[in-house]
Amino acid sequence: MNKPIKVVKSKSEIRRFFTNKIVNSEKVLIGGKTMYMTINKIDDSVKEVKHKKNTKAKIREKRMGMNQTLNFPEINYKKGLEDLSNNLIENNPSIKGIVTLVTGKGKKPIKQPLSYNPLEGFKTLGEVESYLFNKIKSFSSPTDSEIIDIFHKIQCWGGRMGKGVYQKEGFDKNFKMNVYKDMVSKCLNFDIEKDWVNEVSDWTFDLHKIHGINTSFSTKHIRFWLYKKLKENTPPIFDEVIQGRKDVSKILWIFGLNKYNQNYPLNNSSQNNLIIYWEQMIKKSKKEKISLLELERILFNYFTIELENYKKVKNIIKKIIRNSFKSEVKEFPDFDYLVEEIVIYINKYSVKEDYYEELIEFTFQGRNTPKYYGSMEEYLLENKFMFED
């Protein structure tokens, strides 16, 4: 029996189908033409290409393990060790959120709130960071209470996404002192002559035995505790800001390293990907002749600002559409995806705000004409006056 033909209005719509559901291939009708959409391409040769289930993930993992070279944004890497872009604690909602939670003052009280504020007396995240580095450097054999205090300070320094270890059954049941102390001992007694990447990635993932700790926070703890041995070249953090996040359509990466590595994105839940990330960061830091701490901070601040700009431009685009376009534009099956695409290219080429409306008009007209799926990038490069002085 022949497969039923799925009628779609655009290639991006069928791409979303394959993002959410991996199948061998799909017979589709697009622009009046029958094609086969496979997991990674549209083939108009009317030949069905077979793929095993989960091929997409397997191909990516294999490719990422074959000396994958990461692309980095083209920015100034000679800034030195900057302050965090959200350095002031009183103006940082994420830090205020985690402190409120752990001290039991949140709207949803936790079972075992701390008896003190781990960041009491600190005005900036930079002060907390300096304290932690200096304190850890002074340790030879820290006591259990010293270790736990450092743990709380790192969790709070990392922001509200560190809340998991304090929730549900409470800190005492969630935290595994033996697991954490084992990591601390290994870090403080590490042989600096070793090639640390593979070995330290094991310690990092061992920390995931603690409820609520994932790579975003395990790499924070490793970073601080290895500072005594590796100094400014301690392993860089690998959290969501560095990795990046996808748009609402779950198709395009809108910031972070994955924005620059769309075809082979990193996944910080994979130990293999953590190894690749660290190896590539080491290579990049040597190329730029800067420390890993400097590189991590420069990227973190750049990606944070990149996300803020993305949100700002997206709000402007939606306002323009709301105020000047026919309401049926919002009914496009690809509306959210197209808005995300517009924002990405505006930020990529620093398109002047005077031309936002023209770019919006081109985008939706292009998708509304079946015979022409215009490339936004080609359009911008043909009309450089939109972003060049």
- Look at residue 84 and tell me if it is in a domain: no
Hey, CA dihedral for 77, 80, 83, 84, is it positive or negative? positive
- Look at residue 80 and tell me if it is in a domain: no
- Look at residue 113 and tell me if it is in a domain: yes
- Is the domain of 298 the same as that of 323? no
- Is the domain of 194 the same as that of 294? yes
370 DSSP assignment: T
- Look at residue 69 and tell me if it is in a domain: no
- Is the domain of 298 the same as that of 315? no
Q: In this predicted model, what pLDDT tens digit does every residue of 204-236 receive, in sequence order?
A: 999 999 999 999 999 999 999 999 999 999 999
For the stretch 65-94, what's the b/e string if a residue is b when 16 or more beta carbons lie within 10 angstroms of its beta carbon? eeebebebeeeebeeeeeebebbebeebee
- Is the domain of 42 the same as that of 182? no
Q: What is the C-alpha separation between 308 and 296, in angstroms, rounded?
A: 18
Domain count of the fold of the chain: 3
- Is the domain of 29 the same as that of 126? no
Of 13-17, 316-320, 373-377, the poorest mean pLDDT is in 13-17
Residue in the structure block whose two tokens are 């620093």: 350
- Is the domain of 239 the same as that of 100? yes
Q: In this predicted model, what pLDDT tens digit does every residue of 149-177 receive, in sequence order?
A: 999 999 999 999 999 999 999 999 999 99
- Side chain identity at 25, as an amino acid letter? S
Query: Which of 152, 117, 116 has its CA nearest to residue 135?
Result: 152
What local confidence, expressed as pLDDT, does residue 44 receive?
43
- Look at residue 322 and tell me if it is in a domain: yes
- Is the domain of 332 the same as that of 194? no
Pairing verdict, β 253-255 and 25-30: unpaired
The burial class, CB within 10 Å (0-12 / 13-18 / 19+), for 344 is buried
Query: Which of 213, 210, 215, 212 has its CA nearest to residue 200?
Result: 215
For the ranges 65-74, 328-337, 371-380, the one whose mean pLDDT is highest: 65-74
Which residues fall within 8 angstroms of residue 60, CB to CB, at 6 or more apart? 264, 265
For the ranges 50-54, 256-260, 370-374, the one whose mean pLDDT is highest: 256-260
- Is the domain of 233 the same as that of 342? no
Q: What is the C-alpha separation between 112 and 175, in angstroms, rounded?
A: 12
Q: Which domain holds residue 326?
A: 307-386
Query: Which of 148, 142, 267 has its CA nearest to residue 214?
Result: 267
pTM assigned to the model = 0.78
Residue in the structure block whose two tokens are 């748009």: 247
Of 6-20, 42-56, 249-263, the poorest mean pLDDT is in 42-56
Hey, CA dihedral for 52, 54, 56, 59, is it positive or negative? negative
- Is the domain of 16 the same as that of 149? no
Whether pLDDT at 237 is above 50: yes
Mean pLDDT of 315-319: 90
Q: What is the C-alpha separation between 280 and 386, in angstroms, rounded?
A: 35
User: Is-contact 135 143, C-beta < 8 A?
Assistant: no
